[in-house]
Structure 1
């Protein structure tokens, strides 16, 4: 509808062939070549925001087409910038190919700045019609947003906390299943791309933080051990009830309710009281005749206290994260500066942090941007030097056929060339038979558009290329005299463009995110192991805590960022041998568990190093230090198995025994900090058990 309306309006209604061309290709760029996720209204909103960018690309492309070398340099800069903008989230990543086309089209001769107004008129009209059609024609129901999913998970956590606070202090099988499903609904591969909080802004960062916090909260709740003797103790009950109230208030806040200020303060007070209770002696009734020293709590009680404190910590992260996700820099809940460093930052600063974090060859965003920018630059250079007829078709082929893995690129190119050849034969026959009778092409074009834009995406790349070859021939036959040689030019351009894409796909990171995912996960676990050893040593030594912003923590934070971006691309790529996508193929590694292990390492280390900290006795200090070394050693073992560039051959991920996470004998009289550390290390061991799917 949009492509035909814009083209016919300017070509036959106003007799403006240049505006007709730009109206057509603007709608094809953002409506066909781009793959913007979300509903029609979401796509329309993004296109409106991108309209100034589209104008700028047409202007820059028009003025730089004066010389081949200026157009080539512009292609290198624009190509990299637009491809690298994918780090802003799935929507920008999906729009990038369409934006690339809006620069490619005007960057070819003739150099005609006098036609810039007509080019902008056609581009604006095509995009305006596309926005209206996306928003009004065939409206789609919006799936549950990430905020709604997080709110549901928070309500589920509140229900579980309430049940654990009241007799019989256990969760039924149905409750366990509901908690698992609520947490699973927040995993990135179960959330539609348009709903994922992947942007660099405060709201997206906080929403992702809230999702991680509520998943951790659910995980800790379902793993809470039963109270010894069936009596949880008043401090535990108060904390669990406060957790339930804060989780409920956070869910309400995520549903655009008030900030959970009072429940957050209440839980902080209840947690402080339970922490003080667990650090002191056992109550008087357990002290016997009162003549000897007051006894310590039994180890089972202290272990449960530590687990409940971890639950409280996860809920205390959820509250401010939910408030930030809704109210941004105007949030009311008090936040920890280290954990919510982005709370007071403005958008340009957060964008700079995101760009700086991915400005390196280990980032898949950087790799993809370099690959596509170099390929497009080479295609523009070849088209300019050899003066290919309709040379932008070669660049369009490079743009649309290059994939993140060499195997997938080669498969796509073979199919696309076969489709293009079939389409070229149809074009040659049609142009030879019909000749210059534009009325025939004008009648056939809308019908062929309907077929091409519906059948192509369904049947695959081969059909899409063949149908599009006929479509562009029908368009250009109405813009000027054409012969069967137009089909020859189309086939030659696609062949050259696909060859260039294949060459750069082979030279620049040909395995896509496959190796990068393993390398990033291995680096994440190595950094996590360093922090585990350092935290265990600090707790055992009783020294002053290091700030969470120290180099070790910053290195782990960056490793998590790179691993998360690699995982996002890894999920969308097919298997190395051309099989089904990762999300439907059998997996040997649970990469989500690897990412969660990194987050749990950061959070647990920050909690344990917060002052004041009681001193550990010699036996407890030795136990904590040895246990930290043991967990770190298992992290390094998994890391070595994952790393494709390590000294040892990459092999199956070892299965970690979760029962080996404690020593046989616990030191008598150990303070609550010992059990909090053991609980944290035990949760990391649980994460490690989930990584291997052997």
Structure 2
């Protein structure tokens, strides 16, 4: 609690200094009450109502970039306010656009409420376009003071950046890979725990909002890709099986050493070091050699120094082709031609380890490519695979268009939130304009601040807000009755009350915040016009009207928030993943002769399903319980949504890797085994999808658990090539993800539940 008060207190000091300075400068120094109003509300909008994540300097940088947007909103609101119909249409358009701006990441999402206020303020009386100059002057002054205060006053220590977290995880991966490449070729318990902790540090829920790479640009996408690849690498290293016989083989050791070198170089790159080109090439060559040796008959012994390279693969040190380096998968060199059944002489345990090490190499190569893009952007020197890194050469406006188009549908929680708040604000503006509601600005502001993403949360918030507003109205009526028209009393009380309100309100909750803000606005407007005690009555009426509008639209527009959308998105994700699994298994079993029916479009559909599921999950985690407690974790314990998201990512990555040319063939028994296991995995995905889907013909039941006997490969056919073990390893990892999704029992229904 003390830490919460310290954070809100620092912000309150900055907002109070800025708002009071701007207001007093124009109200009493220059006698410009209009400019004084806009100076105060501009600083309150971005400093109090907005929740821009990050340190003071980060918030200042965001506010500086938003200056032109603020000017535009004030100007448009001023000119559209002269007629009710134009003000209503403008409220609908602006409300939706600012709400939908959340697709751009946490900073636009956090700034949106403050920007909404800057449009709402000029949309109400007095309708005076001639005062636009004063309005812009006050807005500019308030924002300039706010930017300076955020950057200079009471600076805050910044948390580790996502790049720093990824660099630390990369060094952990380098340490683990180096241990696996040297005797005893295994990780200790502390090493595995360190890998797990580094992996968890990259999960979005453990990263402060300001540090999450959630934007649509190349660097943000690449940094998010870096985190996902690094987590995959750490997981694969921790799960690498112990080498049979205690000796991993020189090719495996070479790959793991190259992985260690590339992971260390990637960590340096993330710390503004050079691109890891040379370590990348070394790992690509070592990986290609292991792939060729694993797919060819094993030599009886290691060749003596100076002897020719083993048959079926390039000699160590032979450069990989440009295509191999670009894709990061020089995996099929030396594989048997389609239709042949030439089996390697390695025992199955060795081939399984080879497949696992090749997956480790893939994850390391992906991590290095993504990290180079994240640091150097389009000037990255590491070869880029256009399929996996499709965004690398894409123009930034097109990346924004991809993000917007991906969420432009009723299944996106960003779209739902934008529609809900836009309709609610439009209704509030219409009621204020048609009924000439006194101080209709307050009603619209109440709608903005009290509307939540679920009906339960909205109703809980409104009850607290009305109680707080009633208490604040009583205090306001008493204050106005005692002080009368003596503006000096209000001028002295305003900064003290503002400091108290902005310190206590964010910590105590919405009831306290509304009550304290009720008194605050009375102290402001009492200095702009002769006050009476009826100002408190008007404030209470406006909050009641705004609350009712928010409740109506909370009931009509997606009243359960992200709950149903998360179930729907996860179910759709697993359906798409099942299609990819079946298509990939058929293509691998047929040696490339069977074209995956989903193809590139199927991968894109699955990618879009993953994006929608991630956004729904993020909102679901932020929504409190119906009784106003902390975010609901009960349902999350019943269904591991993070495992569903990882299953989607693993399906995409594994499918692209296994279908990379040139195609390799499997014998009949190996092909039948791969097809059978792929069908079982896809069937299990469809069963879980049906259990999650809220729109199914039958109500969603418990998520089916997976029989532990199903987790693992089927009976290994004799003479199976390396591609068989790579495919089985991929399918086994998907079964593991599916096992994590299922928890005992269904999700809880509405109502209180034990923690």
Q: Normalization by structure 1: what TM-score?
A: 0.97
Per the alignment, residue 642 of structure 2 pairs with: 592
Q: CA separation of 1:257/1:657 partners in 2, compared to 1, >3 Å: closer, same or farther?
A: farther
1:290 is matched with which residue? none
Counterpart among 513, 522, 546 of residue 464 in structure 1: 513
539-548 or 210-219: bigger deviation: 539-548
Please state whether the residue corresponding to 1:582 is helix, strand or coil. coil
Q: Distance in 2 between matches of 1:40 and 1:549?
A: 47
How much is the aligned-residue C-alpha RMSD, in angstroms? 1.5
Task: Confirm or deny that 1:156 pairs with 2:156.
Answer: no
Aligned to 1:553: 603
How far is the alpha carbon of 1:576 from its aligned partner? 4.3
CA contact (8 A) 2:39 2:139 kept: yes
CA distance in 2, matches of 1:294, 1:621: 13
1:662 & 1:441 partners in 2: Cα distance?
74
Match of 1:174 in 2: 190
Do the aligned residues in 2 keep the contact of 1:189 with 1:583 (CA within 8 Å)? no
* Residue 687 (structure 2) aligns with: 637
Q: 1:158 to 1:295 in 2, by over 3 A?
A: closer
| Gap runs ≥5 in structure 1 | 287-292
1:597-649 CA-partner distances (Å, limit 9, x unpaired): 10000000000001123211110000000000001111112212211112333
1:101-134, Cα deviation, whole Å (9 max, x unpaired): 0000001122211111100110011111111111
Aligned-pair distance for 1:543? 2.2
Equivalent-residue separation in structure 2 for 1:277 and 1:120 (angstroms) = 71
2:544 equivalent to 1:495: yes
Q: In structure 1, what is the Cα distance between the partners aligned to 2:199 and 2:598? A: 27
| Contact 2:711–2:736 (CA under 8 A) maintained in structure 1 | no
Q: 1:35 and 2:84 equivalent?
A: no
Counterpart in the other structure of 1:476: 525
- Report matched runs for 1:103-114 at 5 Å: 103-114=119-130
* Worse overlay, 640-649 or 204-213: 640-649
The residue number in structure 1 matching 2:446 is 397
2:404 maps to 1:388: no
Per-residue deviation, residues 131-171 of structure 1 (Å, max 9, x unmatched): 11111111111001111111111111111111111111100
Distance 2:721 2:72 in 1: 64
Map 1:365-514 onto structure 2 (within 5 A): 365-514=414-563
Structure 1 ranges of 4+ moved more than 3 A: 544-549, 576-579, 582-586, 661-664
Contact map agreement 2:254 2:286 (CA 8 A) in 1: yes
Larger deviation, residues 594-603 vs 643-652: 643-652
Q: Report whether the alignment pairs 1:26 with 2:76.
A: no
**Superposition deviation, residue 550 in structure 1:** 1.7
Deviations 1:410-445 (A, max 9, x none): 000000001111111111122122211111111111
Q: Which piece of structure 1 moves more, 674-683 or 445-454? A: 445-454
For 1:285 and 1:124, the matched residues in 2 are separated by: 77
Matched, 1:51 2:100: no
Task: Give SS of 1:587's match.
Answer: helix
Cα gap change, 1:337 to 1:451, in 2 (>3 Å): same
Aligned counterpart, 2:201: 185
Distance across 2 between alignment mates of 1:210 and 1:583:
28
Kindly indicate whether the alpha-carbon contact (under 8 Å) linking 1:548 and 1:606 is maintained by their aligned counterparts in 2. no
Q: Which residue of 2 aligns with 1:565?
A: 615
State the 1:663 CA deviation: 5.0
Whole-angstrom distance in 2 between the partners of 1:548 and 1:236 = 34
Describe the shift of the 1:664–1:520 C-alpha distance in structure 2 as closer, same or farther (beyond 3 A): closer
Matching residue of 2:667: 617
Cα distance between partner residues in 1 of 2:140 and 2:667: 73
Q: What are the equivalent positions in structure 2 for 1:226-375 lying under 5 Å apart? A: 226-285=242-301, 296-375=345-424
Asked if 1:574 corresponds to 2:624, the answer is yes
Point out where structure 2 has 5 or more consecutive residues left out of the alignment.
1-16, 303-341, 745-755
- Residue aligned with 1:111, SS: coil
Residues 316, 294 of structure 1: alpha-carbon distance in 2 compared, 3 angstrom cutoff: closer
Partner SS for 1:581? coil
For the residues of structure 1 that align with 2:537 and 2:626, how far apart are their CA atoms? Answer: 34
1:253-310, CA deviations, whole angstroms, 9 ceiling, x for partnerless residues?
Answer: 1111000111111111111111111111121359xxxxxx986211111111101111
SS of residue paired to 2:637: coil
**1:253 alignment partner, SS class:** helix
1:338–1:548: 8 Å Cα contact kept in structure 2? no
Distance 2:452 2:230 in 1: 35
With over 3 angstroms needed to count, the CA separation of the structure-2 counterparts of 1:327 and 1:546, relative to structure 1, is farther
Matched length: 688
CA distance in 1, matches of 2:743, 2:562: 20
Distance of aligned partners of 1:52 and 1:225 in 2 relative to their CA distance in 1, 3 Å threshold? same
Shift of 1:583: 5.6
Tell me how far apart the structure 1 counterparts of residues 285 and 249 of structure 2 sit (CA, whole Å).
Answer: 16
1:55-74 pair list within 5 angstroms? 55-74=71-90
Counterpart for residue 665 of structure 1: 715
**Equivalent in 562, 566, 570 of residue 521 of structure 1:** 570
Deviates more, 1:244-253 or 1:632-641: 632-641
1: distance between equivalents of 2:27 and 2:168? 53
Length-normalised TM-score, structure 2: 0.89
